[in-house]
């Protein structure tokens, strides 16, 4: 674990794409690097389903600022869940994996509390990210608090 940046929040995202059976992480990373010209994927963590199993990818190194939420990249870790939660809610396995990861991040970075978990749309109003059908923020924070 690298605590060199003052991580004090998590911003949650969705990919707004269908979760495929392949490695969507690689496609998102390639897009961020080849199309956007970034030096790495914008998120620090990404959750996706590969062959029926939820996989947690470590993305951008923890000692680098994020590339996910303008104005928050130096203090907030970016977590992306692969799926389009405007069209369907995350299933219980994806939601469980998100809560488990969020709780682990909060344990690793004590400045990140339940109330320092935010949704991307709070900072970019024309986005619904992490999706209109993702649990509302108070519900998600309660899940993080209660496991």
Domain map (residue ranges) of the chain: 9-146
pLDDT, tens digit, 9 for 90 and up, residues 6-60: 899 999 999 998 876 567 899 999 999 999 999 999 999 999 998 889 999 999 9
Nearest to 74 by CA among 127, 141, 129, 6: 6
Q: Which CATH superfamily is domain 9-146 in?
A: Peptidoglycan recognition protein-like (3.40.80.10)
Whole-model pTM?
A: 0.93
């Amino acid at each position: 674990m690298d605590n060199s940046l003052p991580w004090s929040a998590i911003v949650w995202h969705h990919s707004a794409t269908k979760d495929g059976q392949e490695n969507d992480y690689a496609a998102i990373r390639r897009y961020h690097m080849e199309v956007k010209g970034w030096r790495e994927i914008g998120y620090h963590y990404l959750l996706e389903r590969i062959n029926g199993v939820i996989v947690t990818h470590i993305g951008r190194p923890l000692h680098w600022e994020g590339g996910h939420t303008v104005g928050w990249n130096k203090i907030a870790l970016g977590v992306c869940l692969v799926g389009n939660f405007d069209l369907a809610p995350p299933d219980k396995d994806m939601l469980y994996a998100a809560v488990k990861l969020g709780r682990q991040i909060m344990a690793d970075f004590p400045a990140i509390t339940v109330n320092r978990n935010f949704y991307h749309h709070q900072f970019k109003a024309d986005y619904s990210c992490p999706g209109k059908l993702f649990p509302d923020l108070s519900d998600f924070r309660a899940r993080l608090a209660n496991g």
